[in-house]
Amino acid sequence: MQMERAAAMALLQEAIALPRQHPAECLTNEQLWADSAEPANSITRDRQTNSRCLTIGVWEQGQYRSCYSVSENSRALLDSELYRSISSLLEPHLAAEAGGRSRSGHSGRLPE
């Protein structure tokens, strides 16, 4: 996936600004736990609500800029241009993947 440089920079700036704009919605590592019951990987969850979280990390030229987690149902995340842009970029790929599985009858699991 590719985007214009200006659009990518705007998304990165929003990702960096989100914790300042919505500090109560952006969780630190101490507020999270790793649910290892999920297959293949653990899922980050909010300790207080048990909701699944999305972790956002921003590095620039090898330097750490920002890292935090946001509940997947957070209004700060869902109403952000960052979320809308990433969703619109991923949607064609997710739809194609889902369409391919339903046509072929493939469950997404490896054969035994």
Residue 96 domain boundaries: 12-100
Is residue 106 included in any domain, yes or no? no
Look at residue 83 in the predicted model and tell me its pLDDT: 92
Distance CA 98, CA 88 (A): 16
- For residue 111, the Cα-to-chain-centroid distance in whole angstroms is 29
The 10s digit of each residue's pLDDT in 9-62 is 899 899 999 999 999 999 999 999 998 887 777 889 999 999 999 999 988 888
Phi-psi region of 54 (alpha: psi -120 to 50; beta: other; left: phi over 0): beta
Q: Domain for residue 112, yes or no?
A: no
How crowded is residue 65: how many other Cβ atoms within 10 Å of its Cβ? 12
6 in a structural domain: no
Whether residue 78 is contained in a domain is answered as yes
- Residue 30 domain-assigned (yes or no): yes
Encode pLDDT of 64-107 as tens digits: 888 999 999 999 999 999 899 888 888 888 888 777 654 444 44
Q: Is residue 34 part of a domain?
A: yes
In a domain, 79, yes or no: yes
Q: How many structural domains is the chain composed of?
A: 1
The 3 state secondary structure assigned to 59-71 is: EECCEEEEEEEEE
* 5 within domain boundaries: no
Output the pTM of the full model. 0.72
